[in-house]
Structure 1
Amino acid sequence: MIRKAKEKDIDAVVEIYSKIFEKEAKAGTTTGWKPEVYPTENTARESFLKDELFVMETEGKIIAAARLNHEQEDDYVRGNWQLEAPKEKILVMHTLVVDPEASGRGYATQFVADYEAYAREKGCLSLRMDTNAINKPARSLYKKLGFSEVGIIDCTFNGLEDIRLVCLEKVLN
């Protein structure tokens, strides 16, 4: 089950970012993220300060995190969204991370399921998110979980240049 992060969780979230960077330095990137560009400690801290950082904990250890809010990236205007709805009726997930040491155990799937349950509880009508086009594992997972790809946008994203941003949406019934 996900929960809102506490200040003491920020270091654990940043450590997950570091582990992802280390893994991708050895095995090749799937996220397209870059150390000291995105995501950074400031990414986690700003999310926490806005009360938007959510974490998943198991056996006392933070194993996954994401930012949940109603803020859509500026480039989202170029997506072919399935549902027109007021901003407050759309819950957006940003920067989902799972500790690489815990990967393959279904934590990303559970995090997304909890995100959906939270959105329903808040009366939201649609879930939106994005991922880098090169992030094939994430794209496959989101498709399996009922998200539709509603556009691929060439842009500069969070300081990362030449990104092909895949916009994803799941309309809630």
Structure 2
Amino acid sequence: MIRKANFNDIELIEDTYNEHFAHELECGAFTVFKKGVYPTKKDAEKAVNDGTLYVYEDNHNIAGSIIIDRVQPREYAEIAWEKALKSDEVMVIHLLIVRPSMTGKGVASSLVKYAMEVARNNSCKALRLDTGGQNIPAISLYKKLGFQIVATASMKVGNAIEHSGHLFLEKVL
């Protein structure tokens, strides 16, 4: 079940982040996330406070989470998007994360499809996101769901982690 996160979920969301960090340390990293830098408990708290954090709950456990809002990072202004749209016509996916022990069960796909639904329900004409060029699983998922890569550029991930070779993707709705 996907639902809006609340403050009672924060510890489980933070646990999801920590499981992610431990998994990448042990198995190799697809993301540029850094423990203690981004994502953090504070990021989750802010998103819950803003009403933009959603969780995928499975048997009273948080299997994954996603932030969905209309806030386009400043780097997005430099991107030649497929469609020139006003900011209120665009929804953005931030920080999609799935607990490593829950990968391969459709959690990420369900969360992205949910974001598409939120965007459509809010009369948006496009859904945008960014991810690292090294994040092969995420890129594969986004392409499978109809997103197009529109640019490669540098980005400050989470306003904290400099990253070149970052991909910017868009799905016109």
For normalisation by structure 2, the TM-score amounts to 0.95
Name the structure 2 match of 1:98.
98
Instruction: Count how many residue pairs are aligned between Structure 1 and Structure 2.
Output: 172
User: Which runs of structure 2 are paired with 1:85-124 in the superposition (5 Å)?
Assistant: 85-124=85-124
Paired residue secondary structure (2:123): coil
1:151 counterpart residue number: 151
Q: Give the secondary-structure state (helix, strand or coil) at the position aligned to 1:166.
A: strand
Distance 2:163 2:117 in 1: 34
Is the 8 Å Cα contact of residues 78 and 151 (structure 1) preserved in structure 2?
A: no
- Structure 1 stretch displaced more, 154-163 or 12-21: 154-163
Q: State the 1:122 CA deviation.
A: 1.4
What 5-or-longer segments of structure 2 have no aligned partner? none
* Cα distance in structure 2, aligned partners of 1:165 and 1:69: 20
Note if contact 2:131-2:139 (Cα within 8 Å) is conserved in structure 1. yes
1:48-95 deviations in Å (ceiling 9; x for gaps): 111111111122111110111000010112222011222121110100
Are residues 1:32 and 2:32 paired? yes
If the length of structure 1 is used for normalisation, what is the TM-score?
A: 0.95
What stretches of structure 1 move > 6 A for 4+ residues in a row? none
Give how far 1:161 is off. 2.2
Q: Tell me, yes or no, if structure 1 residue 170 matches structure 2 residue 171.
A: yes
Whether the 8 Å contact between 2:89 and 2:123 is mirrored in structure 1 is yes
- Structure 1: segments with no counterpart, 5+ residues: none
What residue identity is the alignment partner of 2:98?
Answer: V
Letter in 1 for 2:136: K
CA RMSD of aligned residues (A): 1.1
